[in-house]
Amino acid sequence: MSVMEQAERLARAGRQLEAVAAVKLAAEQGESEALLIVAKWRLFGLHGNQELALAHELLGRSAEAGNAEAARLRAVLVANGTGCTSDPDRAKTLLEALRDKDALAAHQLDVLANMTALDSVSQRPVEVAREDPHIRIVRGLLLGPECAYITALAKPALQPSFVLDPRTGRSAPHPIRTSTGMNFGPTQEDLVIHAINRRIAAVTGTDVFCGEPLHVLRYSPGQEYKPHVDALPGVANQRAWTVLIYLNEDYSGGETRFTELGLTVRGKRGDALVFCNILPDGRSDGRTRHAGLPVTSGVKWLASRWIRGAPYSPWQPG
């Protein structure tokens, strides 16, 4: 029986500490699956401290031992700079080495090959909806296949919107958001999502590392996002900008409504709504209070990225 098989048996028997020790032993012996597991533990600070650089090193060893999942995850981290310096070109080279033996890597590369270059972003038509506050619509920021890629990747990970009830400590339905959603956190931000985040940064003139993880929302008929502002209370590194990208258009209702301005926006597939959330002194701009109106038929898909005023770490949010 292999060390990993022993670890599985121990875990099923509820002997968690022994199972963890067995996995660590297998990793020390160079077992590729164990190296991948321990790398994930180091990424998230499980069964020990969070050590991003060590996680990156362990993934490299697992990939060299032939583990395709580890190789893909390593490429993700190289692209977004987790445990190393961000290097999208090197990440793509790592992924190319997997093309012939890993369908997921090949699919990413095929989508990347057909993505619009960043230098064409400035050619996208821009419509100014308001000068003050700053609200504009960038037409066709994403292409149809890029929108489809986001929704296909997000769909299996969707969860109902919940918040933590401070009185009970339990999760409760979100009081103003009735959609389902998910985040492309740093381990889900594959090379396509990272390229999209870079395009968002380019069109807003911001640093890609100031953005929060790309967030995807799905609204079924009757679901909505009631009026709210995106700026956060008591946060030093404030959400300066919001970018909303409409991923489809085969639905009714669901318009974005700026309640204080009397402005209603409905984007076509791939269009981006960009607006500033704060006043010059850094305070929240109440004029940007907005709502996602109820969907009346069909399903609405929306991607959002909140951009902070300074670099933001998804590993240490604040």
Give the residue range(s) of CATH 1.25.40.10 domains in the chain: 3-112
Share of the chain above pLDDT 70, in %: 95
Name the 3-class secondary structure at 201. helix
Strand boundaries in 32-134, DSSP class E: 126-130
| Confidence tier at 151 by pLDDT (50, 70, 90) | very high
Q: Please check whether residue 94 is in contact with residue 78, taking contact to mean a CB–CB distance below 8 angstroms.
A: yes
Q: Please check whether residue 59 is in contact with residue 73, taking contact to mean a CB–CB distance below 8 angstroms.
A: yes
Structure tokens at 175: 């009081």
Specify the pLDDT at position 230.
94
Q: Which long-range contacts (CB under 8 A, 24 or more apart) does 147-152 make?
A: 147/245, 147/247, 147/248, 147/269, 147/270, 147/301, 149/111, 149/192, 150/193, 150/196, 150/214, 150/216, 150/247, 150/301, 150/303, 151/216, 151/247, 151/248, 151/301
Specify the pLDDT at position 152.
97
Specify the pLDDT at position 8.
81
Q: Which residue has the tokens 């300074």?
A: 310
Does the structure show a pLDDT above 90 at 1? no
Name the 3-class secondary structure at 160. strand
CATH 3.30.930.10 fits domain 125-308? no
Specify the pLDDT at position 156.
95
Could you report the per-residue pLDDT of 248-280, keeping only the tens digit for each? Answer: 999 999 999 999 999 999 999 999 999 999 999
CA 192, 153, 57, 103 torsion-angle sign: negative
Does the structure show a pLDDT above 80 at 170? no
Instruction: Determine which helix (DSSP H) or strand (DSSP E) holds 297, and give its type and residue range.
Output: strand 295-298
Give the residue range(s) of CATH 2.60.120.620 domains in the chain: 125-308
Spatial separation of the C-alpha atoms in residues 21 and 4, rounded to whole Å: 10
Specify the pLDDT at position 171.
54
Spatial separation of the C-alpha atoms in residues 290 and 262, rounded to whole Å: 10
Q: Please check whether residue 230 is in contact with residue 288, taking contact to mean a CB–CB distance below 8 angstroms.
A: yes
CATH class as words, domain 3-112:
mainly alpha
Could you report the per-residue pLDDT of 105-147, keeping only the tens digit for each? Answer: 999 999 999 998 777 777 889 999 999 999 999 999 999 999 9
pTM of the model: 0.92
Judged by average pLDDT, the poorest of 108-122, 162-176, 194-208, 246-260 is 162-176
Q: Please check whether residue 237 is in contact with residue 308, taking contact to mean a CB–CB distance below 8 angstroms.
A: yes
